Amino acid sequence: MLRRSVLSIAVAVLLVAAGGTLAHAWWRVSQPAADVALQTSDFRVHAQWNEEPTLTNLFPGDARTATAQVSLDSAAQWQYRVDYASSGPLAPYLTAVWFPNTQCSGTPHAMGQTNPALLTGGTATEICVRFSLSNTAPSRVQGTPADVTVTVTAEQRR
């Protein structure tokens, strides 16, 4: 019995000592920092045609080009991509590629592909878009229109 009592006292002393340490370890003090106003910077892309696309009087296999200037109102580094959508009877036979210059020279980029060049904030660049009418366009689409929308999307890079 004495052995049991001594063991119980030893366990109780250990539990009290450990509990006191744990209680001490859980205490903390905090002080909130003063409020700070954060504001994001502007990030706006502008695209304007220098030469609008004229997709009239196209014959199968013909191509037309258009050029535009793209600029960014931001100090951030950026990249951009060009995409397009078309509708109308001629749309299924119309394809487009773009170039990061006004001459439509060099390797063409597929629509939706990001320009690999990293641009500094506040800069402007020019693009060329080449629209082509498929060689397989049927004669029934002669004289029909295609409404085309070109979209430039800028993305911030670090």
Highest mean pLDDT among 10-14, 51-55, 103-107: 103-107
Would you list the domain boundaries of the chain?
44-157
Percent of the chain with pLDDT over 90: 51
CATH 2.60.40 for domain 44-157, yes or no, is: yes
Distance between CA atoms of residues 19 and 11, nearest Å: 12
Rounded to the nearest integer, the mean pLDDT of the chain is: 82
From residue 4, alpha-carbon distances to 9, 50, 67, 81, 98 in Å are 9, 96, 94, 80, 88
Which three-class secondary structure string do you get for the chain?
CHHHHHHHHHHHHHHHHHHHHHHHHCCCCCCCCCCCCCCCCCCEEEEEEEECCCCCCCCCCCEEEEEEEEEEECCCEEEEEEEEEEECCCHHHEEEEEECCCCCCCCCEECCCECCCCECCCCEEEEEEEEEECCCCCHHHCCCCCEEEEEEEEEEEC
pTM of the model: 0.72
**pLDDT band with cut points at 50, 70 and 90 for residue 29:** low
- Residues 84-133: tens digit of each pLDDT: 999 999 999 999 999 999 999 999 999 999 999 999 988 999 999 999 99
Confirm if 76 and 123 have CB atoms less than 8 A apart: no
